[in-house]
Structure 1
């Protein structure tokens, strides 16, 4: 059976996209291995598809992390058989591309982000130029390209004249039709995903100051900003109203989604990567019957407006966020409408409807 190795830079605990790609490739008759790093040291559940290999990288962040990630990923690829490499994001492409060229095998690039436009590096010209150089060096010559939003498809084509296919990060369809509740006690606001810079989490915490005591904020995930967000919560004396769950396998997200009245999917304007983001949580909320509060950026706003599945806000001032949350949770006319529109959208935006883009992947293997 032909083998595909998917290369990533995380421990795969939270990566629903890689899990869904694995399922689709296995359905096409391919054996799938996934490589990542053993940090945080939380082993993914054993019942997931494919084989998971976690690498122990000496460093957790910074240039040395990326250097050792690629060295160890390359060594892993060099000493294991594969017929196709699926490289997730720019940070694993150098190792994947080099190994694929040496073994004369095809390589697919799956860009979840546009790395040189990540908000974390916009104020560091040296690091930004380094990622741009890596993009110019390693992006050309892959056998196929995927990315997650129409805006990123356009951006990659504009910057590097490369034709990307759109493969949105849609969820697997659930058996039960999601139905948004009309009300809740307490009123739960939900954020699920990485706790990284510029995702509107801090502003949502601050917005609780303008909302009544019945409002609670559940923050599911971990990330670089976790410590800062907890400190902010402490400073504002909101520790009894904000629940940080820590890292949670995606199989257990339903426990925190149940009863949530609104899901947060906002971004600050910190570069093109944020402007053209189309994160999986926007669609996960719909699949769980949760209206979405999102930023007025093209791809996210289009989904929410065209399908009437939430509210779009123009800025992340805490008072403005509080007003939108209150509207989403207390406007019964809106919530009754969402009981019609969200189940309809949940049936449209599913991975089963998106996998047509993967049907000919097997043809790349000679």
Structure 2
């Protein structure tokens, strides 16, 4: 049984994409281990977790502490930490005083400089991220896996260290879920330099779709594998619905206009709310969490839309379909603010389709491909609230149109599902081993 170790820069609580990948690899006989982060926001998440226990798709999750051990000790018990550190500092200072005033002065200056520099957010964040990366790499290296996979650029260096810094190097797969060189909040030039240099160590690269693969070819001169983020196939009628109407306190006959996903900038969420005064029927429900949550709630209050817009927090991915089943229509209104958004194929789109829910979505290339092939909903301008409202009104007021979109979703999900797509993942792993063996033999010749 070949061992696979993957790295991901999150707590791996609701990462449905990687859960599907790990389960699929385990199903065909790989011994799969995921190295993730132990986020203090979720204290109940164990350091070692066995997913799908006693099933054919069983795999292991190893979570490393979110903070360096000194910061972790301070966070858990500040008083005890300060007493211990103060005591140690005093003992060291007294010892150095009797040894040399110069040594004592140097020690105190270094201590003060360290504390002062650590108060700067950039330095503190850089140090914490470096420490996490080192501990992730150390954990992965000890596993001595046959194949390593890095998910996104922030874990690629860990994969390089674990797979290539050995007497007998191992295959390395790079699964880039985003367009790393063109995302909001990232320095494009620095990211491109990092990624281009680390790609030299990668045996096989995967990206989410063909639009991104073509972009990668323009940047780096090769066309990577594509692995679409489709949902697992299921019959929504087999899922027992969780009653959203009761949960948010609305009448049972109200039509649910559902957004599920991260509450983050660039996803058209403010415009969804701005569209609601023009909507004749339906209640907008947000399911998820994120940085914009409080801001969106305040917008609802400011616009007096408390009866037309409701919020539900983050839900476990295992239960998500039971919520989605309630929806009359689903939204994926990404705004074209960067190439990462422009090129997205959007897993939320496929989650709605799998639940037989018509979709109102942004008119972007990968999304448009689905809409051109199947009659599943309406494409809109995500920057225009009235465009969104018109699409909503068309669907909720025309039962025949809604029924045709439901039928289109039922057809589309037989094509756009993980049960079909995971065969590509197996091809990637076979190819990674073949490429690695050939390159190793060439190096020996």
TM-score, reference length from structure 2? 0.75
Identify the match of residue 62 of structure 2 among 34, 53, 58: 53
Aligned-residue RMSD, C-alpha:
2.4
Mapped contact 1:147–1:165 kept (Cα < 8 A): yes
Give the C-alpha shift of residue 321 in structure 1: 1.2
Aligned length: 356
- Structure 2, unaligned runs of 5 or more: 53-57, 69-120, 239-251, 438-445
Q: 2:86 aligns to what? A: none
Q: 1:78 aligns to what? A: 141
Q: Distance in 2 between matches of 1:145 and 1:195?
A: 29
Q: Distance in 2 between matches of 1:273 and 1:315?
A: 16
Mapped contact 2:356–2:407 kept (Cα < 8 A): no
- Structure 1, unaligned runs of 5 or more: 122-126, 179-183
Superposed CA offset, 1:282-315 (max 9, x none): 1110000111111111111111232111111134
Q: 1:208 aligns to what? A: 276
Secondary structure of the 2:413 match is helix
Give the C-alpha shift of residue 362 in structure 1: 4.5
CA shift in 2, pair 1:194/1:135, >3 Å: same
Q: 1:228 aligns to what? A: 295
Give the C-alpha shift of residue 266 in structure 1: 1.3
Mapped contact 2:50–2:60 kept (Cα < 8 A): no
Q: Distance in 2 between matches of 1:173 and 1:341?
A: 15
Mapped contact 1:120–1:197 kept (Cα < 8 A): no
Give the C-alpha shift of residue 246 in structure 1: 1.8
Give the C-alpha shift of residue 329 in structure 1: 2.1
CA shift in 2, pair 1:299/1:231, >3 Å: same
Give the C-alpha shift of residue 147 in structure 1: 1.1
CA shift in 2, pair 1:246/1:316, >3 Å: same
Identify the match of residue 263 of structure 2 among 195, 206, 214: 195
**Which of structures 1 and 2 has the larger relative contact order (alpha carbons within 8 angstroms, sep 6+)?**
1
TM-score, reference length from structure 1? 0.90
Give the C-alpha shift of residue 71 in structure 1: 2.1
Superposed CA offset, 1:212-247 (max 9, x none): 4x5212212222322322222232232343332222
CA shift in 2, pair 1:229/1:63, >3 Å: farther
Structure in which a larger fraction of residues adopt helix: 2
Mapped contact 1:305–1:312 kept (Cα < 8 A): no
Q: 1:111 aligns to what? A: 176
Tell which deviates more after alignment, 25-34 or 61-70: 61-70
| Aligned pairs for 1:147-162 within 5 A | 147-162=207-222
Secondary structure of the 1:86 match is strand
Residue 36 in 1 paired to residue 101 in 2?
no
Residue 139 in 1 paired to residue 207 in 2?
no
Secondary structure of the 2:283 match is strand
Q: Distance in 2 between matches of 1:318 and 1:129?
A: 34
Tell which deviates more after alignment, 86-95 or 216-225: 216-225
Identify the match of residue 346 of structure 1 among 397, 408, 413: 413
Give the C-alpha shift of residue 177 in structure 1: 6.2
Q: Distance in 1 between matches of 2:256 and 2:314?
A: 19
Residue 300 in 1 paired to residue 377 in 2?
no
Q: Distance in 1 between matches of 2:297 and 2:135?
A: 34
Give the C-alpha shift of residue 79 in structure 1: 2.4
Q: Distance in 2 between matches of 1:242 and 1:54?
A: 37
Q: Distance in 2 between matches of 1:252 and 1:111?
A: 26
**Over alpha carbons, which structure has the higher Rg?**
2
| Aligned pairs for 1:168-187 within 5 A | 168-176=228-236, 185-187=253-255
Residue 97 in 1 paired to residue 160 in 2?
yes
Q: Distance in 2 between matches of 1:223 and 1:63?
A: 23
Secondary structure of the 2:153 match is coil
Mapped contact 1:6–1:87 kept (Cα < 8 A): yes
Give the C-alpha shift of residue 341 in structure 1: 1.5
Mapped contact 2:334–2:382 kept (Cα < 8 A): no
Give the C-alpha shift of residue 364 in structure 1: 3.9
Secondary structure of the 2:154 match is coil
Give the C-alpha shift of residue 336 in structure 1: 2.3
CA shift in 2, pair 1:67/1:270, >3 Å: farther
